[in-house]
Structure 1
Amino acid sequence: MNFAIVGCGFIAKKHATAIQNIEGAKLVAVCDKVEVAMQPYTEEYGAKLYTELSDMLQDPSIDIVCICTPSGLHAPLAEQVAAAGKHIVLEKPIAMTIEETNRIIEAANANNIKLAVVHPNRFRPVVQELRKILDSGKLGKISHANCIVNWNRNQEYYDQAPWRGTKQHDGGVLMNQAIHNLDLLLWFMGDAQEVFSMEATRLRNIEAEDVSTGIVRFKSGALANVQASTTVYSKNYEESMTIFGEKGTVKIGGANALYFEHLQIKGMDEGEAASLKEKVKAEPWGTPGHERIIADMIEAVKEERTPAVTGEDGKKALELVLAFYESAASNKLIQLDKGATV
């Protein structure tokens, strides 16, 4: 299938590489207002260059468009792509507001095109194994979880582009970094019911938060602690998820949540646990997540099914982030089932 990319910043390279690695997929066009940003894509991939999206969308050979622009621009671009009948792979977060998100999902449905949101961490080998454990019921009733992202994003990172760290186009650590982990938390624990959060901008000269902490109650009754920051000195320290159940405790962790750090389950002997740890350790990244997302979209189109990570999945992760923001701003407990007010 033929792909096009809108927005040729940092993340676009991951999409281009993923497309190149998938048999039967080809990058045929890129679009960006800055012509020099597109140059590598014509040199390396032979893609045709466009400065106007409307012109690119007139190409009937394009099947799928990857939207890789700043987050605040997702909604109008996705609506335009959907109206042209092209399927969409949309970088996270799906949008910056629920109103924008609903517009994207409605446009996809109205034009009968498929929409996938890029939450690639779901495809990490250790995450897949943890999901299998949860699906098997081996942990029994879940008590609570810890979700931690303590990373470094220095001031130079935010200064690379004027939109970074802004509330309109980027958000802070929750919207930009930890939204992947919140997606996993929802994937593991089910729908969230209520949230209480505090946040601050402690060390980075940005508009949004660089540190956040909060508590989630899920509809199941289980609880979770969430901590996220980009203020860690001097490199990424920890990305982890721990699930506590009545029959076991599982922690995936490391600087990028790639390994089993604790694996103790009733009925699982030490040899079996060690074998599973080593299996993951042998190839911790697996096939790159962007490649899995894009390959899944191709199969979804061929098989006429929904993608693995849908627009509704993206919306749930966004709703949780916005509930954190609303709670921190109001110093109140926020009920998710009443709908986000942001």
Structure 2
Amino acid sequence: MRFGIVGSGIRGRMYARSLGEAPGVRVAAVCDLDESSARQLGEEFGAAAFTDHRRMLADSELDAVIVATPDFAHRDVAVDSAQAGAHLLIEKPLATTREDIRAIHEAVEAAGVQCLVGFENRWNPAIRRLRELSAAGRFGEVLTQNILLSNTYYVPREMLSWAAKSSPAWFLMSHTVDAAGWVADKAITSVVARGSRGRLASLGIDTWDVIHALLTFADGTTANLTSTWVLPDSEPSIVDFKYQVVGTEAAVDVDLQDQSVRLAAEDYSWPGLLGGELDGRLQGPPTWMVQSFAARLLDGAPVGPGIADGAMVTDVVLAILESLETGAPTPITPSLAGTSAVSHA
């Protein structure tokens, strides 16, 4: 099976390597607007390199395409790839506007291809266990979830050249909105959000510093999300990720970053157990996700989470951003007719 990858940054390179370790697939083409970056990635993986994804699609006879472009730049690549008959793995969020969601959905439906939206935490063993415990009734009724997912300054200042066109809502809450809906298996009906901005703007990155969002589900229960981009760079990890589920019968707390490995040297760090290599092969949720995507395509099996899940998350994040601006509770407006803000896959 021949894969193309659009976007040769951190994620595109990780996907290329992960697929290189998977049976029955190969990276046949890569594309990036930066010609030198595309050429370097192509040479590393023996793939043809392009700067125009349309040329890549016309010349490469691809079975699947991974869209690893910035949050706001998914639509054209996804639509054109679907129309070329390629299955899709699209980085989260699926899109940042309802119009883009509808365009991608229509193209995928018309072409009859499959689409997986990259909510990698569904392959995170800890969050998967929370979902299993919830589905088995171990929590009783899930009453609330408290989820913290934040980054140090390194992410908006160094890692993302396009941080001013994104926010902690798009970059981080896309993960936690999906997780909250998946673990509770309930429809999200409204949000109230509060936040602050100014610190990153003073550094030339005009976006939100801190966002808090209270999600309300159809049965009146809640999930409380917090994401920031202003943790000190002296933190032991660039990511802080903590998750609590409280139910009528049980509660559970998970620290997804301090994974019992603490290194004290010239500084203090949490090396973590997820990610990295084992026997020279990449491990961790994003690698397992893309390898599962490839394996299921090879087997002719359905993939997911799909467009309905991606649309749900985008709808909720749009409501969060609207509530930040208005200060008012904001109902969830589904982008796709006949869908609701719930994630079952």
Give 1:128's aligned residue.
128
Query: Conserved in 2, the CA contact under 8 Å of 1:296 and 1:308?
Result: no
Give 1:90's aligned residue.
90
Give 2:23's aligned residue.
23
Query: Conserved in 1, the CA contact under 8 Å of 2:6 and 2:67?
Result: yes
- For residues 102-135 of structure 1, what are the alpha-carbon distances to aligned partners after superposition, in whole Å with 9 as ceiling and x for unaligned? 1111111111111111111111111121111111
| CA shift for structure 1 position 159 | 5.5
4+ runs deviating over 6 angstroms: none
Give 1:290's aligned residue.
286
| CA shift for structure 1 position 88 | 1.0
- For residues 282-339 of structure 1, what are the alpha-carbon distances to aligned partners after superposition, in whole Å with 9 as ceiling and x for unaligned? 9655942222222232243344443121111111111111111011111111111576
Residue 69 and residue 238 in structure 1: after superposition, are their counterparts in 2 closer, same or farther (change >3 A)? Answer: closer
Which ranges of structure 1 fall in alignment gaps of 5 or more residues? Answer: 260-281
Query: Conserved in 1, the CA contact under 8 Å of 2:71 and 2:170?
Result: no
- State the alpha-carbon separation in 1 of the partners of residues 335 and 4 from structure 2: 34
- State the alpha-carbon separation in 2 of the partners of residues 338 and 52 from structure 1: 32
Q: What SS does the corresponding residue of 2:163 show, helix, strand or coil?
A: coil
- Mapped pair 1:116 → 2:111: no
- State the alpha-carbon separation in 1 of the partners of residues 174 and 140 from structure 2: 27
Give 2:257's aligned residue.
255
Which ranges of structure 2 fall in alignment gaps of 5 or more residues? Answer: 261-271, 276-281, 337-345
Give 2:227's aligned residue.
228
Give 1:146's aligned residue.
146
Compute the TM-score of the two structures, normalised by the length of structure 1. Answer: 0.84
Give 2:55's aligned residue.
55
Give 1:336's aligned residue.
332
Q: What SS does the corresponding residue of 1:30 show, helix, strand or coil?
A: strand
- The one-letter code matched in structure 1 to 2:225 is V
Query: Conserved in 2, the CA contact under 8 Å of 1:152 and 1:233?
Result: yes
**Which of the numbers 189, 192, 195 marks the counterpart of 1:196?**
192
Residue 162 and residue 191 in structure 1: after superposition, are their counterparts in 2 closer, same or farther (change >3 A)? Answer: same
Query: Conserved in 2, the CA contact under 8 Å of 1:21 and 1:291?
Result: no
- Mapped pair 1:310 → 2:306: yes
- State the alpha-carbon separation in 2 of the partners of residues 337 and 157 from structure 1: 29
Q: What SS does the corresponding residue of 1:33 show, helix, strand or coil?
A: coil
- State the alpha-carbon separation in 1 of the partners of residues 182 and 141 from structure 2: 16
Task: Percent identity, please.
Answer: 23
Query: Conserved in 1, the CA contact under 8 Å of 2:143 and 2:221?
Result: yes
- State the alpha-carbon separation in 2 of the partners of residues 118 and 68 from structure 1: 10
Q: How many residues are aligned here?
A: 312
- The one-letter code matched in structure 2 to 1:25 is V
Query: Conserved in 2, the CA contact under 8 Å of 1:148 and 1:226?
Result: yes
- The one-letter code matched in structure 2 to 1:204 is L
- The one-letter code matched in structure 2 to 1:90 is I
- For residues 19-47 of structure 1, what are the alpha-carbon distances to aligned partners after superposition, in whole Å with 9 as ceiling and x for unaligned? 11211121111112221111322332111
Residue 292 and residue 159 in structure 1: after superposition, are their counterparts in 2 closer, same or farther (change >3 A)? Answer: closer
Residue 162 and residue 127 in structure 1: after superposition, are their counterparts in 2 closer, same or farther (change >3 A)? Answer: closer
- Mapped pair 1:176 → 2:164: no
Query: Conserved in 1, the CA contact under 8 Å of 2:101 and 2:335?
Result: no
Give 2:315's aligned residue.
319
Moved more, 305-314 or 107-116: 305-314
Give 2:247's aligned residue.
245
- The one-letter code matched in structure 2 to 1:194 is S
Give 1:218's aligned residue.
217
- State the alpha-carbon separation in 2 of the partners of residues 302 and 230 from structure 1: 39
- The one-letter code matched in structure 1 to 2:307 is G
Query: Conserved in 2, the CA contact under 8 Å of 1:4 and 1:65?
Result: yes
- State the alpha-carbon separation in 2 of the partners of residues 191 and 159 from structure 1: 36
Give 2:33's aligned residue.
33
Compute the TM-score of the two structures, normalised by the length of structure 2. Answer: 0.84
Residue 152 and residue 161 in structure 1: after superposition, are their counterparts in 2 closer, same or farther (change >3 A)? Answer: closer
Query: Conserved in 2, the CA contact under 8 Å of 1:29 and 1:49?
Result: yes
| CA shift for structure 1 position 182 | 1.6
